[in-house]
Amino acid sequence: MSSSQLIRVGLLGFGTVGKAVHQSLEENRDLIEARCGRTPVIAQIAVNDLSKDRGASVVTANKELVAKKLSRLTELAMARKADLRFEAAVGAGIPIIQPLMHELGGCRIKKMKGILNGTTNHILTEMRTRGVPFDEALEEAQMLGYAEADPTSDVDGFDALYKIIIAASLTSGTQIELDASPCSGIRDISLADINHEEGLGRRLKLIAEADLTGDAPSVTVGVQSLLHSHPLSQIEGTENALWIEADPLGEVTLSGPGAGGGATASAVLGDLVEVVRTIDQGCVSPPWPIAPSF
Ligand code: HSE
């Protein structure tokens, strides 16, 4: 192998996701080399040091950063002809960003509704199916590596808000502001509430929703009581799902593993393969600008 085939990769962060990416890259090296036509090598691992990243293409799973700065990051990526990819930021292992940008790129997205946080869906599922108290189910999600370092973001709905803001900003072409988006979580939900709704044939789920039909796109996150027959009622544990209504498509639901090291690493590596594969083309992603909301 000649050194010109090597592509230097900097890994920023080495927690659950960083370690899983590192391990999967090593384990799938042959496959990734064959698909990229080049060899991505991890040249540097840095924690809390973004200064090493200037001017390079970026693959990130950081939903808070992308949700708050999508417009600015897109502008920078375009100006520098660098790639910006964040498939892992929404729904971890479920392909959502690429389908929204490419396969559904010719559609007018009208509404989206999803379960976009694995931790809270795991907690609600454990409370309902095993009668596990809230705190114990949360601890379990933390031990399994699903919850954020500060699980407030999961439990109070912000993690799901970041994800629906990314999806809705991308499809509407407008940066949606966090402050303008109503958000609540599952902290106040008791076992009695869950059982009461179940008795009525309904299920409590933390739902992230976007309405893109008005003059300005709007998003909300909060607990909703869904009929058992509703497809999102059947999404259990750390699984995530996003239902999309679009013209001329109609309706489509994307679902799969929404949290955890392996699922997130899968999306990061997919992005990495694309960045490395197209590195000579000055490829820019997202393919269209996201206007600031002011
Ligand atoms: N804490 C997040 C969740 C991880 O539970 O969904 C995946 O983004």
Question: How many angstroms separate the CA atoms of 228 and 99, rounded?
Answer: 28
The three-class DSSP label of residue 184 is: coil
Nearest-atom number in ligand 1 for the CA of 116 is: 6
d(CA 279, CA 283): 7
> What is the pLDDT, as a whole number, of residue 279?
87
pLDDT of residue 87: 97
What 8-state DSSP symbol labels residue 174? B
The Cα–Cα gap between 133 and 82 comes to 47
For residue 268, give both structure tokens: 């990061």
- Show which residues are catalytic: 163
Residue nearest (by alpha carbon) to ligand 1 atom 7: 259
pLDDT of residue 281: 82
CA 283 – ligand 1 centroid, Å? 29
- C-beta of residue 260 within 8 angstroms of C-beta of residue 252: no
| Confidence at residue 285, expressed as pLDDT on a 0 to 100 scale | 78
Q: Which two tokens stand for residue 50?
A: 């973004």
| Any ligand 1 atom below 6 A from CB of 86 | no
| 86-to-103, 174, 265, 271 alpha-carbon distances in Å | 16, 17, 12, 7
What pLDDT is stored for residue 206 in this prediction? 98
Q: Which domains does the chain have, with CATH numbers?
A: 3-93+261-280 (3.40.50.720), 97-257 (3.30.360.10)
What's the pTM value of the predicted model, to 2 decimals?
A: 0.95
Per-residue pLDDT of the chain (294 residues; tens, 9 = 90+): 444 589 999 999 899 999 999 999 999 999 999 999 999 999 988 876 655 586 789 999 999 999 999 999 999 998 888 999 999 999 999 999 999 999 999 999 999 999 999 999 999 999 999 999 999 999 999 999 999 989 999 999 999 999 999 999 999 999 999 999 999 999 999 999 999 999 999 999 999 999 999 999 999 999 999 999 999 999 999 999 999 999 999 999 999 999 999 999 999 999 999 999 998 887 777 778 899 876
Q: Is 259 in the pocket of ligand 1 (CB under 6 A)?
A: yes
117 lines ligand 1 (CB under 6 A): yes
Render the burial of 145-175: b for 16+ CB within 10 Å, e for the rest: bbbbeebebbbbbbbbbbbbbbbbbbbbebb
